[in-house]
Structure 1
Amino acid sequence: MPGEFHEILVKLIQDEPASVPWMLALAGGPRGAKCVKAETRSGAVGSSGPTERRADGVVRLGFADGAELIVVCEVQNEWSEDKYHRLPGYLTHAFEDHRVPVVLLMLCRTDALARRFRRGIAMGPGSTVAVATVGPGNMPDLGADEAPPNAAAAVAAAVMRRQPKTIPTELFVSTLDRWLGTIEPGRAADYARFLLTTLAKEPATLLEALMKTEARLYHSEYTEELLTKGRDEGAVRHARTTLLLMLESDGEVPAERRAEIEACEDLTRLDAWIVERVRSAKGRHWHS
């Protein structure tokens, strides 16, 4: 299964493909490129096949001298022999479709995985496909000199790095918070929720404390979502208790029925069961 690390990085590339030239440069690729066009997994290389056989993203870059480059982006959690042998096909399809030079950019969860892909893909005697790879060690600390170009790149750096190596944690977190404050609050709150479960303990704790200050718009959005979630969970608990008390007034509730009610998270369904119980009780009262 791809996992959350994979999904959040794919989303970041899709949200702001302009971060790809920066990531490619971190992998030792050419600098000075700009994103010209991007494709997501819904229309990427090998689009005639099933989704799981497509690249995570395809970004077309342009350079000042008029040259262009296709970057096939892949996010990888762990080593996969199957993926290793499928990757050359992604490049072949992209080259056939676009007729411009193609490079494979791998974003790897660990530095060990990045080193393994950096060896390239052996196609046969004297034939190896080069792979541009980025691991956590390639990502600069947020707040250091090498600043990311946009918020998605900043979040990607934080996701891959998890905690700062060269600067104080407070600076790392305050820089991340500042980047999140530059984008639409709902999207920033979505990123923040993931970061709180991804960052190491100290930066996650600091980020959560910052978000409770409501100094930025996305802080308020995050706090409101927490309050709404809390209210919804409270309503569900209340509905469960009410329904069980009503059923217990008729006698012992069968264990299977009790387990079904206690496991239900759907407030609409619980309310429907309560209404059904009320109507049943009224019917019995009418006939008595």
Structure 2
Amino acid sequence: MVEIQQRPDPDKQRALPRYAAALWLQLNCPVTVLVFSPEARTAVWAAKPIPTSLPGYTLTCQVMGPDHIPLITDPAEAAAQPELSALSVMNHGEHAKVVEAFVAALQHLPAEHAPHYYEYAYRMASQAARHLMEALMESTVWPVYSPFAKMHYGKGLQAGRAEGEARAVLTILEARGIPVSEDDRAFIMECTDLERLDEWARRAVTATSAADLFTE
């Protein structure tokens, strides 16, 4: 499964057949690449056959875009199909009823599962949908405002923000051509201190090596 949340990237498209071929060699079984995209234009692009240099090998991905995911606005339906509801948030989060149905459905899911659905939907959602999810969690009149919501969703939100900041640090370094060792990469991704991650991001703009991020 591949998530594509940005505009079409020819380099990413050329990489997909290599990923599929490598997985096929590793598992020795047929491989299907499933692409999720919240943008219709990107979904159309991802569905196009991808020719390769291997004779007779053309990869055609299976694509799930906005036109393939329904708008789920009924909390009961969202609770019955939480996976589809999370995808509906990703593709149609600009509709408040979609987000409201998803958040309301979380109170009916097992306590050990609800935070995972919330975190996954939050990570995939647009910025506008994220703001609405946060507002619903903080509302004193919303039915899922509870010790469970405050404890679990708050932790998930903090973890999601930290992961996003960590990835931003790595993206800046990558864009500037600065190599990052596996140990440094793991250290950055494991950090949950938002202030420290913000400082690392600022340093990454002018750093000459990954070590410059950690210099006090």
Q: Under a length normalisation based on structure 2, what TM-score does the superposition of the two structures give?
A: 0.52
Match of 1:213 in 2: 141
8 Å Cα contact 1:109/1:136 also seen in 2: yes
8 Å Cα contact 1:94/1:102 also seen in 2: yes
Per the TM alignment, residue 132 of structure 1 is displaced from its structure 2 partner at its CA by: 0.6
1:82 to 2, 5, 11: 11
1:163 to 91, 94, 117: 94
Query: CA separation of 1:112/1:88 partners in 2, compared to 1, >3 Å: closer, same or farther?
Result: same
Q: Distance in 2 between matches of 1:223 and 1:212?
A: 16
8 Å Cα contact 2:2/2:35 also seen in 1: yes
Q: Distance in 2 between matches of 1:74 and 1:224?
A: 25
Q: Distance in 1 between matches of 2:85 and 2:25?
A: 33
Per the TM alignment, residue 156 of structure 1 is displaced from its structure 2 partner at its CA by: 2.4
Cα deviation per residue 1:44-94 (whole Å; 9 max; x = unaligned)?
Answer: xxxxxxxxxxxxxxxxxxxxxxxxxxxxx1111221121111111111111
Query: CA separation of 1:196/1:103 partners in 2, compared to 1, >3 Å: closer, same or farther?
Result: closer
Per the TM alignment, residue 215 of structure 1 is displaced from its structure 2 partner at its CA by: 2.4
Matched, 1:122 2:51: yes
Written as runs of structure 1 = structure 2, the 5 A alignment for 1:11-30 is: none
What RMSD, in angstroms, separates the aligned Cα atoms of the two structures? Answer: 4.0
Q: Distance in 1 between matches of 2:128 and 2:78?
A: 21
Q: Distance in 1 between matches of 2:73 and 2:52?
A: 41
Per the TM alignment, residue 155 of structure 1 is displaced from its structure 2 partner at its CA by: 1.8
Give the AA of the match of 2:129: L
SS of residue matched to 2:18? helix
8 Å Cα contact 2:69/2:88 also seen in 1: yes
Number of residue-to-residue matches in the alignment: 150
Written as runs of structure 1 = structure 2, the 5 A alignment for 1:138-287 is: 138-143=68-73, 150-164=81-95, 169-170=96-97, 172-181=98-107, 182-184=109-111, 186-187=115-116, 190=119, 197-199=127-129, 204=132, 208=136, 211-213=139-141, 215-216=143-144, 217=146, 220-221=149-150, 225=154
Q: Under a length normalisation based on structure 1, what TM-score does the superposition of the two structures give?
A: 0.41
Q: Following TM superposition, where does structure 1 have runs of at least 4 consecutive aligned residues deviating by more than 6 angstroms?
A: 144-149
Query: CA separation of 1:127/1:155 partners in 2, compared to 1, >3 Å: closer, same or farther?
Result: same
Normalized per residue, the structure richer in strand is: 1
8 Å Cα contact 1:150/1:179 also seen in 2: no
Q: Distance in 2 between matches of 1:162 and 1:200?
A: 8
Q: Distance in 2 between matches of 1:148 and 1:103?
A: 28
Per the TM alignment, residue 177 of structure 1 is displaced from its structure 2 partner at its CA by: 2.2
Cα deviation per residue 1:172-211 (whole Å; 9 max; x = unaligned)?
Answer: 344212322225365566568665833298xx38962884
Query: CA separation of 1:85/1:218 partners in 2, compared to 1, >3 Å: closer, same or farther?
Result: farther
Query: CA separation of 1:224/1:136 partners in 2, compared to 1, >3 Å: closer, same or farther?
Result: closer
Query: CA separation of 1:225/1:133 partners in 2, compared to 1, >3 Å: closer, same or farther?
Result: closer
Query: CA separation of 1:178/1:127 partners in 2, compared to 1, >3 Å: closer, same or farther?
Result: same
Cα deviation per residue 1:197-250 (whole Å; 9 max; x = unaligned)?
Answer: 33298xx38962884325224774179959xx9xxxxxxxxxxxxxxxxxxxxx
8 Å Cα contact 1:118/1:130 also seen in 2: yes
1:133 to 50, 59, 63: 63
